[in-house]
């Protein structure tokens, strides 16, 4: 410890007998004291800074006019809450107080959450209604027509309440139909999730399966307070009803009760019994209507038959005798047929005469073909003669070229006394400068080949690089020079 003279004094020798705690010991002592005294509390306040962690835990603060309290709701508890927390929502939280030593603060661990008063509920309901209205979920053009006489009706409600019995009795009285019940809690914890599961479950049934797909859905429950009906105001329930492919009737509460699901349903019924009345027509009324309409149709058909028969009889009296009309028509047909036969024969005779006249000046195809064959044979003979002359001419030219080629061939050069010198690889040796002493050479004469070895190299003759052409004569040089 530090005294007034700024001197450091050892606490153990200072004479102070008060115990010294570590930070952790103090934190744990405070934690036990708070949890023992505030093991079960109910706190009212407004939610702010709501955060849903990836782990599923909920973190938020509860505040009033002057104070702020941290709050946490663990994942296992958050799934059982009757309402979903939102910023600005005034709630009553039930739970226990504890401390968080890592930050030296205290917080409430929420175990139950409820709206604080009906006024707060109504304000939340209105805010949610405006939000969904702005998204267009309540638009009239999104609503579907109800089937006139559904084969199967799906009902989402409590299986133990009077609602399902009222619906079944009303359907039996009006027009019995096949009913599928999806049992669901209609209030309290988990009610919203079960209602959503019912709507989505019925929509997932495919045509042709063992379980028939409903043609119409009824979402129903009896009357109750605003808190009792709150599951039908949950945003997730409203959205599930809005995207349902099956037409849906909402029948929640009494006639004066209104929930958000009523705005998105295709039809709203004031009571569950009224929903059953909307779902099907009255079978007795249909039978009576069909009977009355059938009798009227039968009378109308008989009257129409009598009127048509009378009109036909009246018209038939002014018509000529059909037998006589047919006899005259038959006679005219026979006369036209005879004229047609005569005209045909005359026409064929005229055509035959015209053909004979035209054929006089025509050449026989046989004669025409014979003439063309003679012309073709003459052309063949002329072509053969030309080809023979061309071949003979080219053969003569080839013989002359062969004589010329033979005159300048390699063998004729050797016959004139020249020889070809080759090296070991039988390549021509073109100059003495390319030889070396001891080099093996071959000499090819006209009558055979010999081999030899270069013994020594003689003096090489110098070549003067002078342009080819007429040599210039030097007056001072009296010698003629070399020929090669």
CATH (domain of 46): 2.40.50.140
Average pLDDT of span 61-68: 89
- pLDDT band, very low/low/confident/very high, at 118 (cuts 50, 70, 90): low
pLDDT given for residue 461 in this prediction: 56
Q: Is residue 305 part of a domain?
A: no
Q: Residue 483 pLDDT > 60, yes or no?
A: no
pLDDT given for residue 472 in this prediction: 46
Inter-CA distances, 73 with 27, 57, 230, 339, Å: 22, 6, 21, 112
Q: Residue 468 pLDDT > 70, yes or no?
A: no
* Same-domain pairing of 91 and 169: no
Inter-CA distances, 51 with 68, 91, 116, Å: 16, 16, 20
Q: Which of residues 92, 116, 140 is at a domain's end?
A: 116
Inter-CA distances, 419 with 411, 442, 449, Å: 10, 10, 9
- pLDDT band, very low/low/confident/very high, at 144 (cuts 50, 70, 90): very high
* Same-domain pairing of 269 and 177: yes
* Torsion sign (Cα): 69, 72, 77, 79: positive
* Same-domain pairing of 81 and 156: no
Q: Residue 365 pLDDT > 50, yes or no?
A: yes
pLDDT given for residue 424 in this prediction: 80
* Torsion sign (Cα): 86, 70, 114, 66: negative
pLDDT given for residue 13 in this prediction: 52
CB crowding 387-422: b at 16 or more within 10 Å, else e: eeeeeeeeeeeeeeeeeeeeeeeeeeeeeeeeebbb
Q: Residue 86 pLDDT > 70, yes or no?
A: yes
pLDDT digits (tens, 9 = 90+) for 1-45: 334 444 444 555 555 678 888 998 898 889 899 989 998 999 988
* Same-domain pairing of 112 and 155: no
* Same-domain pairing of 51 and 96: yes
* Same-domain pairing of 57 and 103: yes
CB atoms within 10 A of CB 142: 12
Average pLDDT of span 379-398: 90
CB atoms within 10 A of CB 36: 8
pLDDT digits (tens, 9 = 90+) for 236-291: 999 999 999 999 999 998 877 889 999 999 999 999 999 999 999 988 888 888 89
* Same-domain pairing of 277 and 160: yes
pLDDT given for residue 462 in this prediction: 52
pLDDT given for residue 201 in this prediction: 94
Q: Give the residue ranges of DSSP H helices in 408-426.
A: 410-415
Tokens of 469: 């052409």
* Same-domain pairing of 156 and 277: yes
Look at strands 41-52 and 90-100 and give their pairing: antiparallel
Determine contact, residues 164/157, Cβ cutoff 8 Å. Answer: yes
Determine contact, residues 302/239, Cβ cutoff 8 Å. Answer: no
Average pLDDT of span 228-235: 88
Average pLDDT of span 424-430: 83
* Same-domain pairing of 156 and 265: yes
Q: Which of residues 281, 304, 339 is at a domain's end?
A: 281
pLDDT given for residue 457 in this prediction: 63
Q: Residue 399 pLDDT > 70, yes or no?
A: yes
Q: Residue 422 pLDDT > 50, yes or no?
A: yes
Dist. CA 182–CA 364, nearest whole Å:
100
The residue among 265 and 475 whose pLDDT is bigger is 265
The residue among 324 and 308 whose pLDDT is bigger is 308
Q: Is residue 7 part of a domain?
A: no
pLDDT given for residue 183 in this prediction: 94
Element holding 452 (H helix, E strand): strand 448-453
* Same-domain pairing of 108 and 156: no
**Residue percentage of the chain with pLDDT more than 70:** 90
The residue among 468 and 83 whose pLDDT is bigger is 83
- pLDDT band, very low/low/confident/very high, at 421 (cuts 50, 70, 90): confident
pLDDT given for residue 146 in this prediction: 94
Q: Residue 145 pLDDT > 90, yes or no?
A: yes
Q: In whole numbers, what is the pLDDT of the chain averaged over residues? A: 84
Q: Is residue 205 part of a domain?
A: yes
Determine contact, residues 60/82, Cβ cutoff 8 Å. Answer: no
pLDDT given for residue 116 in this prediction: 76
Give the range of the structural domain holding residue 97, as residue numbers without chain letter.
22-116
- pLDDT band, very low/low/confident/very high, at 96 (cuts 50, 70, 90): very high
The residue among 87 and 43 whose pLDDT is bigger is 43
Number of folded domains in the chain? Answer: 2
Q: Which of residues 116, 131, 160 is at a domain's end?
A: 116
Q: Read out DSSP for 59-80? A: EEEEE-SS-EEEEEE-HHHHTT
* Same-domain pairing of 168 and 229: yes
pLDDT given for residue 220 in this prediction: 93
Helix (H, G, I), strand (E, B) or coil at 426: coil
Instruction: Return the minimum-mean-pLDDT range out of 13-17, 33-37, 342-346, 447-451.
Output: 13-17
């Amino acid at each position: 410890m530090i005294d007034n003279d700024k001197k450091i004094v050892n606490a153990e020798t200072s004479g102070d007998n008060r115990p010294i705690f570590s930070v952790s010991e103090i934190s744990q002592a405070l934690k036990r004291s708070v949890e023992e005294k505030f093991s079960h509390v109910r706190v009212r306040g407004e939610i702010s800074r709501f955060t849903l962690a990836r782990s599923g835990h909920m973190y938020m603060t509860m505040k009033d006019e002057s104070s702020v309290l941290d709050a946490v709701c663990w994942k296992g508890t958050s799934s059982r809450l009757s309402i979903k927390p939102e910023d600005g929502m005034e709630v009553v939280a039930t739970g226990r107080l504890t401390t968080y030593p890592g930050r030296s603060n205290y917080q409430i661990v929420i175990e139950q959450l409820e709206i604080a008063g009906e006024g707060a509920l109504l304000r939340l309901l209105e805010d949610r209604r405006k939000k969904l209205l702005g998204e267009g979920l309540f638009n009239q053009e999104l609503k579907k027509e109800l089937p006139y006489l559904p084969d199967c009706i799906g009902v989402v409600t409590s299986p133990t309440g009077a609602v399902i019995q009222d619906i079944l009795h009303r359907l039996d009285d009006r027009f019995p139909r096949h009913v599928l019940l999806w049992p669901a809690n209609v209030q309290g914890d988990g009610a919203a999730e079960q209602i959503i599961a019912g709507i989505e479950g019925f929509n997932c049934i495919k045509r042709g399966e063992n379980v028939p797909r409903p043609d119409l859905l009824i979402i129903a429950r009896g009357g109750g307070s605003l808190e009792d009906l709150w599951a039908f105001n949950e945003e997730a329930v409203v959205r599930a009803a809005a995207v349902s492919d099956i037409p849906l009737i909402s029948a929640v509460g009494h006639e004066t009760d209104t929930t958000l699901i009523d705005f998105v349903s295709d039809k709203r019924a004031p009571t569950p019994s009224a929903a059953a009345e909307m779902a099907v027509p009255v079978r007795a009324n249909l039978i009576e209507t069909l009977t009355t309409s059938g009798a009227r149709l039968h009378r109308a058909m008989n009257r129409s038959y009598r009127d048509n028969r009378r009109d036909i009889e009246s018209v038939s009296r002014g018509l000529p005798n059909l037998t006589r009309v047919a006899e005259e028509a038959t006679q005219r047909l026979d006369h036209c047929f005879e004229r047609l036969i005569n005209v045909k024969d005359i026409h064929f005779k005229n055509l035959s005469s015209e053909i004979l006249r035209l054929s006089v000046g025509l050449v026989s195809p046989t004669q025409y073909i014979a003439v063309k064959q003679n012309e073709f044979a003459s052309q063949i003979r002329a072509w053969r003669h030309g080809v023979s002359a061309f071949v003979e001419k080219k053969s003569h030219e080839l013989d002359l070229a062969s004589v010329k080629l033979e005159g300048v061939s390699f063998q004729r050069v050797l016959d004139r006394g020249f020889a070809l010198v080759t090296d070991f690889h039988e390549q021509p040796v073109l100059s003495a400068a390319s030889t070396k002493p001891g080099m093996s050479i071959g000499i090819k004469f006209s009558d055979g080949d010999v081999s030899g070895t270069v013994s020594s190299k003689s003096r090489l003759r110098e070549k003067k690089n002078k342009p080819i052409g007429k040599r210039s004569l030097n007056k001072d040089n009296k010698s003629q020079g070399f020929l090669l």
